[in-house]
Amino acid sequence: MLTYYICQTTKMSDSSISVKPNLGVKYLVMVLVILSLLLFIVLSVVTFFWLHPNQRALGTEPLLCVTCQELSLYPDEDIEGFSNFSVRRNGTSVLCCLNTLPAIAEMVSRLMERKRRKNVSKGVFNDLPIECDVDERNKENTKLVGKLPSVQNKSEEYMTNVRWDINSAASFLGSTFTFINGSISVLESDFYYIYSNLVYSQEWKNNTDDLRTFCHVLYQHTPLTEIKHDLILMKNCNSICKPYKASAHCMGSSYVGSVFFLRKGEEIYIKVSDPEMLHENGRDNIFGLFRT
């Protein structure tokens, strides 16, 4: 009886020992399966974002294309501003196309800013703080509307000063400014928004490379200093020209505008590279400034 009991005990012990390795294998397999699933999910997510780097895109095809000229503000600003657009050529036109949310926001912002600057160039200051005394506000503003300038000294270096008509009905000169020989002089040191718009025309060429380039430059002159050359504040050169109705000529426009600090006695004036290109409708040629 004793011998039989020992044998039975030994057999039961052997069977219990053999079960433990089987459970360990099952747990290991379950862990490996779970890890495999997690790895698959991670790889799927990584692959998805790698194949779709910009999920803000609204489509593969551009939703809207406009000429870059319609969105242009100033050459230096355009370099950074156009980074959200897809720039492409369509014949003689350069198009700015958009298909992303940032591009739409940038387009709206540039259109509003362009409209604001055009209004400013026409003397419309709707976006300025509302004041009760409009006449008092106008004392701080200057707007010179240019008629076709009677340009003199055409051989003067590279450019020629634009002559402005201070007696035009659309012109006014604030009490804190003086005007002489085509230059505006400030009588008080302050920050000023300076702007100018010029319209030019030339004979239309089918090959746009043959069109002349028109340069529009704003200078700052500081009297009684050792500076030999006047400082260029803004410059815009382009040859973009659109055919004008049935005429053999085409027309283009150039706008410059920004905020600068001017000291008492400093002067600003406009020069152009080719005065003969200035359009004869003087009301389109504008030069002015106002306090910010």
Average pLDDT score over residue span 113-141: 50
Tokens 């008509």 sit on residue: 165
The answer for 91, left when phi > 0, alpha when psi is -120 to 50, beta otherwise, is left
Rounded percentage of the chain residues whose pLDDT exceeds 70 = 63
- Please report where in the chains the tokens 């990584």 appear, as a residue: 46
Question: Could you tell me if 67 and 97 are in contact, meaning their C-beta atoms sit under 8 angstroms apart?
Answer: no
Beta-sheet strands, E only, within the chain = 64-67, 86-90, 93-98, 141-146, 160-161, 172-173, 177-180, 183-186, 190-203, 214-221, 231-238, 242-243, 249-262, 267-272, 285-291
pLDDT at 150 over 50: no
Comparing 72-76, 178-182, 275-279, which segment has the lowest mean pLDDT? 72-76
> How confident is the model at residue 76, as a pLDDT?
61
pLDDT value, residue 25: 75
| Domains of the chain, earliest start first | 64-120 (no CATH), 127-291 (2.60.120.40)
Contact by Cβ (8 Å): 101, 56: yes
Residue 232, pLDDT score? 92
Mean pLDDT, rounded, for 73-87: 71
Q: Are 275 and 150 in contact (CB under 8 A)?
A: no
Task: Give the range with max mean pLDDT: 17-21, 51-55, 105-109.
Answer: 105-109
Mean pLDDT lowest for which of 104-118, 176-190, 268-282? 104-118
- Report, as an integer, the average pLDDT of 261-289: 84
Average pLDDT (21-50) is 77
Three-state DSSP at 42 gives helix
Looking at residue 166, its pLDDT comes to 78
